[in-house]
Structure 1
Amino acid sequence: MSNLQAQLGDAVKAAMRAGDKPRLATLRMISAAIKQKEVDERRSLEDADVLAILDKMGKQRRESVEQYEAAGRDDLVSAEKAEIAIIGEFLPKALTEAEIDEQIAAAIRETGAESVREMGRVMARLKPQMQGRADMSAVSARVKQQLG
């Protein structure tokens, strides 16, 4: 069991003791997604795998917030934002814009990439360092801009 899974288990127990049903529901949803991935892949997940799941869940909820705001569904927006906050508790501290740019520049230097066609090598280098700490689609756009 990964360290994040242990933290998640402790958070579930604390939410149960506190009687915090909305928080408990979100934590159970996260646990279910992790368990599903373990069953699908027939292996125990490491922290990096759990971070990828949490990152994906956060991204899905941010997209939902945009759609609900466009539709004027403020009740659903607040529920999604609450879930984003709970998911965010288990993600590492987000990188600043300067830190992202610094890591991109270092990855470009290390890989020797000179054009957009070599972007895959740069992204492969960045993903383990940035997973859960930055929006990877935004990072990809920045890499493309710097290589282009």
Structure 2
Amino acid sequence: MAIDGVRVVNGTFGYIYKEGKWLSQFNKATAKVEIQKAELKVAGDRWTRHKVLGLKGTGSMGGYKVTDELMQEVMVVTNSDKPSYRTELIYALKDPEAWGYERIRLMNVMFDSIDVANWEAGKEITEEWPFTFEGYELLDPIEE
């Protein structure tokens, strides 16, 4: 059966929520889990075998600078005696023509860096927030 082009999910309908609040200024998102493996050589077999040793979650979100709310929130923690800010993000895709919508919860999100200043005359200011995360959950899968 051929793919129905109408059902292809469009990123225009992507949303990012931080602890339940929609972050409307962000317009791009990534998240991936790297599977860390060790190679095993077994006697009597030409195939290289693999053993999973760990998982590493990384991602980012980017968009337009509208407020300093997120920067202030993260800075309060990084300037304290306990600089271990953790939060939760939910990435959602809600294309009305797709088979459904998708929501993915990212747990224990820790931002890697803060853009304190990053601008150029005559251009809109954008921000990029790279992070690591420890665990995810597919809350709502897209299904036919």
Structure with more of its chain in strand, by fraction: 2
TM-score range, shorter chain: under 0.3
TM-score calculated relative to the size of structure 2? 0.19
Which has the bigger relative contact order, CA under 8 A and spacing at least 6?
Answer: 2
Larger Rg: 2
Structure with more of its chain in helix, by fraction: 1
TM-score calculated relative to the size of structure 1? 0.19
